[in-house]
Amino acid sequence: MKYSPHVWAQLKSITADELIRGLEKDGWIRTDTVGAMMVYRHPDGRCVSIHYHPRKTYGPKLLKSLLADIGWSEDDLRRLRLVK
C-alpha cells in the first residue's frame, strides 16, 4: 500500500503502543504472545505479528511490511486517528 508523503511523515514516528491501540480499535484480537512478539488476528482472517518494545518506533522497511500485512488505507488511518 502506498501512502502520500504527508501521511508517511506522520507514520514514521508511530510507536508500538500506538500501532497496537489502532489494531485493537479496528477489531484485531491478540491471539498469542511469545516474548516480545504479539500475534494479532482480525475477524476476516488477516494476521500480523508485532515485535513489541514500548516507546520504540519501527524502521521504514519493517513499518511498510507491517502496514501491508494489516491492510489499512489512508482513510482507515484517519478513522483510527493514527494520522491527521
* 64, pLDDT greater than 80: yes
Which pTM was predicted? 0.88
Burial of 81 (0-12, 13-18, 19+ CB in 10 A): exposed
Q: Supply the pLDDT for residue 53.
A: 86
The pLDDT of 56-68, averaged and rounded, is 92
State pLDDT tens for residues 5-17: 999 999 999 999 9
Q: Supply the pLDDT for residue 75.
A: 95
Inside any domain, residue 84: no
Largest pairwise CA distance in the chain: 35
Number of domains in the chain: 1
Inside any domain, residue 63: yes
The pLDDT of 55-78, averaged and rounded, is 92
> Which CATH number goes with the domain that contains 70?
3.30.920.30
Count of CA atoms in the C-beta half-sphere (13 A) of 77: 22
Inside any domain, residue 42: yes
Domain that holds residue 34: 5-79
* 1, pLDDT greater than 80: no
